[in-house]
Chain A
Amino acid sequence: DTAVSQTPKYLVTQMGNDKSIKCEQNLGHDTMYWYKQDSKKFLKIMFSYNNKELIINETVPNRFSPKSPDKAHLNLHINSLELGDSAVYFCASSQDLQGGETQYFGPGTRLLVL
């Protein structure tokens, strides 16, 4: 059973389009995250939700909007895609927000904006 799953795995789209990435975790965790990994391989936090409540909202353009319909799901919608949005986006989850909690990552969504 996949613990953290993301769809789609690959996403190729034109500039200006709107797209969504879906994430689901079956670990019963309270906290979920979105990370962006750029071409230099830096993994940077974008958002985190705890029990469907937004906890972390990094300096991310407001074209990016997360939505958590329930504790097991955290989706990411991106409006007006730009070339610089091309990256790998990882969803992750952890038991809760306590320090040192192990984060479980999904397989990533490779977004290419043309």
Chain B
Amino acid sequence: SQKIEQNSEALNIQEGKTATLTCNYTNYSPAYLQWYRQDPGRGPVFLLLIRENEKEKRKERLKVTFDTTLKQSLFHITASQPADSATYLCALPSNTGGFKTIFGAGTRLFVKA
């Protein structure tokens, strides 16, 4: 069955460094992949979508890559700031169709000043 794996351990980095989060998936070839940000006590907020024919997508300090051979997406935040501290979720369309989105459990990022 379809599986999405994100590093369950929190990622701690120093302000100014680049944070790299990983999303791996199995038993599936999704047409696109999305990244969302979730702050404590709030709903997820959409950040970026990357399609299977795109290797890389950028938005300000964010960069997402999509390697369909490795079945992996990397999410980078350059020049990280304490305000970037949050949980980041990757999301894929369900391989059973039906317009469903499957979310990973997320990786918690802490950026220290």
Contacts and interface: CB of A to CB of B under 8 A. Distances in A.
A102 B101 CA distance: 11
Contacts of A56: 98-100
B50 to A, nearest CB: 10
A15 interface: no
Interface residues of A, number: 23
Nearest to B87: A41
A103 B44 CA distance: 9
B51 A100 contact: yes
A4 B43 CA distance: 10
A92 B46 CA distance: 11
Interface in A83-100: 90, 92, 97, 99-100
Interface in B20-47: 31-32, 34, 41-46
Contacts of A41: 87, 105-106
B100 A43 contact: no
B93 A104 contact: no
Contact of B43 (A44, A45, A106): A106
Interface of B: 31-32, 34, 41-46, 49, 51, 87, 89, 93, 98-103, 105-106
